[in-house]
Chain A
Amino acid sequence: MYAILDGPTPRTQDFGEIYKAYHRRVLSLCRYLLNSKDAAEDAAHEVFLRAQWKFSTYDDRMPLSSWLLGIASNYCIDLLRRRGVEMRVFETAAAELPERSSRGPGPLTQLLATEQGDRIRAALSELPDRFRLVLVLAYYNELHYDEIARMLGLKRNHVATLIFRAKQQLREKLQEKYL
């Protein structure tokens, strides 16, 4: 892996290594974002193709995984945008104020800590696209609100609201299902 980063341009075999090392992580991200196994596999495939074409633009001060996950996120967001089902995430109006802050369940640390993976996955997959999207970017990619806002073309406040609402919904889902 280090050899790749040192060298000026990666060669075919090196990219094979990259693929092997990161495929699963990229696939997971696509799976989260797109909420479909088949679509995720196609997307991951496409992401690696794209990554390969523009490998020359890769700046090695940034971790390779972030770069790849960035490409994957952008690609999946594009797909979702094109899907057009959930246009609201891309509207600029910050209409969704956290008006229900007092009514929703509080933080679910206990639940999350003991939760099995498939339950969270199930709850996550039931969230609307826009909520799933921001949660994944914030907690799987560990991006800051600013970065998410840039990626989605939204205002920072809107992102904050979205994440807040998304977490509330996730808590509700987990609570109604498993408590």
Chain B
Amino acid sequence: MKKLPLEGVRIADLTMMWAGPYATRLLAEMGAEVIKIESPNAWDNIRTLVPQPEATEPWNSSFYFNDYNRDKKSLTLDLAQERGRDVFLDLVKHCDIVIENYRADVLQKLNIDYPVLREAKDNIILVSMAGFGKTGKERTQVGFGPIIEQMAGLASLAGYGDDGEPYKTGISYGDPVGGVAAAGAVSLALINRRRTGEGCHIDLAQRETMAAMIGEAFVAASLRGEAPTHYGNRHPRFAPQGAYRCAGDDQWIVVSVRNDHEWRQLASVIGANEELASLGFDERQARHDELDATIEAWTIEQDAQPAMERLQDAGVPAGRVLDTVAIHDDPHLTARGYWVRLPHPKMTPWRQPASSWRMVEANPHLRRHAPLFGEHNEEILCGLLGLRSDDLRQLESQGIIADAPINPTVG
């Protein structure tokens, strides 16, 4: 059986919320051993962000937490206590990577910043992913995903165009984007260590990796002073392009026509007259409102799925706007085995996404649900660090480790 690329790599994961945990989920999928470290009184708030009243241990029963923390191990450790910090530094000796997404000044306050980590292990790799980076005037700004999207220029570029209002993406888009970039940074740092024998400190600002996703808008601004244009769902080079309402409740299809041929095909499927069907690009752009009305007069009578299939059969780029239910039932994703049910000791299994990094040969697969709080304390502290059960009891009595949060209502 072929090995996954990160087998044998061990990661001390101090990240919380979404950006960091998304990075370490990817790394876990690629075979790394990820040890998620939370303090009994400062733990990953995602565990209870969507409270589930029926759950006896809500911190162990969150679908949100589970989706982004599967295939990891859980170690509780209060880093603010000296003994907890010592245990952590002992763990670092056994790790290749430390990754964190605290605000820029927190690692230093805990006295576990890069120089300290290097004393514990000289070739350690530290990946920091604060919203605005470790340096610069804005380093102490709090950076959640939507804030990152605003501060990176993206929100300024999206909007319907008729009201001047900029629009945020419907998810905290900055988080997973920072996470994917951080996962790549980890692998680059491993390549670097393999070549040079040395570790490094990656200072990743989520705002910067986000801004890199709209590079051409910076080119336009720097060369021509271009201000953002809100195209709505239209496109400067494709016409018509839009989201069109289909039959049913809030069902939509996107159609995106790149050339005259595709337009003719679309016109034929929707039964547009010959005058419309023969329009060239400039005319289609000029009469976009009229074409939208003609297209929607057809789509409104159609179910989204067959409408998409019919247009695609005719060679027209068309896609259903899959909502959060429809995407779980999408025949294509289903055929690709994308949704997977994992057993969970506290929850009824639900369909979770497989890895989006499909290694065709090594074939990464979801192995295990997100860890229960402190589930691997003994395995790591005794098995890896050689502590005895007496030590564990002592750590427990000092509140340095725990199998349940000390303050479970804080979210």
A binds B: no
Chain B interface (Cβ < 8 Å from any Cβ of A): none
